Structure 1
């Protein structure tokens, strides 16, 4: 009886060893898949952060450019207004000078 059971154990030993190897291989594959998934997740997160940073840089550049254009436009408009004011003052001075000359001419005999 003992020999009969012993021979069954001997016959089962390779199957148990194969099952143990298969279990270890499955565990290693699962670990590898888990590690790869974590790496992919980190890569995706890094890509998202990079993209978000790029969007923020574009937005900041747009705002800076828009503000510079607006400031430049305001300076140009102020310069145009200053030229208009100066032109009006020159015109007034010419008119005053012309009137003064006429007044002087009217007082001459």
Structure 2
């Protein structure tokens, strides 16, 4: 399967605190992915970097092999990247697509 998204050596620092340090993560077309970890492990911060809420302190994001800088959630959506933030924000009777659209509005 071909790689469609790669986060390479991502770090996000808030003052002296590293929420993420040197994280690499890739997504391949046709696969289902999950990001698991304890509370406070930095999962949400990493995804917030991906969707442009935060800018990485270090590292790069590649989309379909091309380096991109995602400056805002609107830019992420324009690039085809969306995120539903937490399970309690989902509407159970909606499809995945409908929940993604709702999250983008």
TM over 0.5: no
Higher normalized helix content (fraction of residues) = 1
Normalising by the smaller structure, the TM-score range is: under 0.3
Higher normalized strand content (fraction of residues) = 2
TM-score, length of structure 1 as denominator length: 0.16
TM-score, length of structure 2 as denominator length: 0.16
**Greater relative contact order (Cα < 8 A, sep 6+):** 2
